Structure 1
């Protein structure tokens, strides 16, 4: 596995971020929990492998609910970029005095569910029909997702950083 270095994104990362967001989300706009985000407006970490190649990115926001991972994508899944980016987000949450890290994924995203649960996040809520509502804002969201699974619902995952229960 390659060594991964994580840092805050800077202007020189714009092209790589744009390409990643286009591949993963059809552009820089994501709609999650009935909120529209432009990933270009959020603080972002980038992962760089030991050869200096862009390996992934994590966009986030911090508020009273904790640090929300709005977008996490790796250029080559399984190479360690996602794990390194999530660790950087946890450090940022701690530095911001946030007591938890949380995110939303979709019902079809079995790989993400496996990834996050293996890193201690737990499913804390299901919003049935949230993706259907998001399609009204972003009609390019597909109706069928990964593995041919109909795409309808959002699953919220969270992990408290203080060791408290995840309610």
Structure 2
């Protein structure tokens, strides 16, 4: 397993791996324009974290791991927290959907607290990105954003 900062060489692979845009709190993020880290296993992307630093806050825009139980997600989060501290951010935050119970557990185990629940935010995001599914994990309707944070 090798972790690297995202560079131009991986932009197209990232698009194939994760897609091109993510919407959080109504903001459209183009993943190919964000900094971040990739995890390579046998020269294939098996993990990805992108982030956006703005006004002393670091948002984790995307976090994906194709291999569970190997610590990939945790290592990526640790790297971005180090980066956020190095540039004097006051918090690291992220959004997940209300249906993603696995992610909700994952973030809380790593010290993130629930900051807010943004009612119907994903319903609104579908106006920009209609491909967001109506029904998510375990048959749960996907409607709300849950905001998590770690204060630095």
Task: Please indicate, yes or no, whether the TM-score normalized by the shorter chain is above 0.5.
Answer: yes
TM (norm. structure 2) is 0.93
- Deviation per CA, 1:89-110, whole angstroms, max 9, x where unpaired? 0011011110211000000001
- Which residue among 116, 130, 146 is the counterpart of 1:139? 130
Q: Which residue of 2 aligns with 1:8?
A: 5
2:9 matches 1:17? no
For the pair 1:47 / 2:44, whether they are aligned, the reply is no
Which of the residues 20, 29, 32 maps onto 2:21?
29
- Aligned partners of 2:147, 2:20: CA distance in 1, in Å? 21
Larger deviation: 37-46 or 125-134?
Answer: 37-46
Q: Unaligned regions of 5+ residues in structure 2, if any?
A: none
Misfit runs of 4+, over 2 Å: 4-7, 51-55
* CA deviation after TM superposition for structure 1 residue 52, in Å: 4.7
2:71 corresponds in structure 1 to 80
Q: List alignment gaps of at least 5 residues for structure 1.
A: 22-26, 162-167
* Equivalence map 1:67-146=2 (5 Å): 67-146=58-137
Give the 3-state SS of the residue equivalent to 1:7 in structure 2: strand
Aligned length: 152
- RMSD after superposition: 1.4
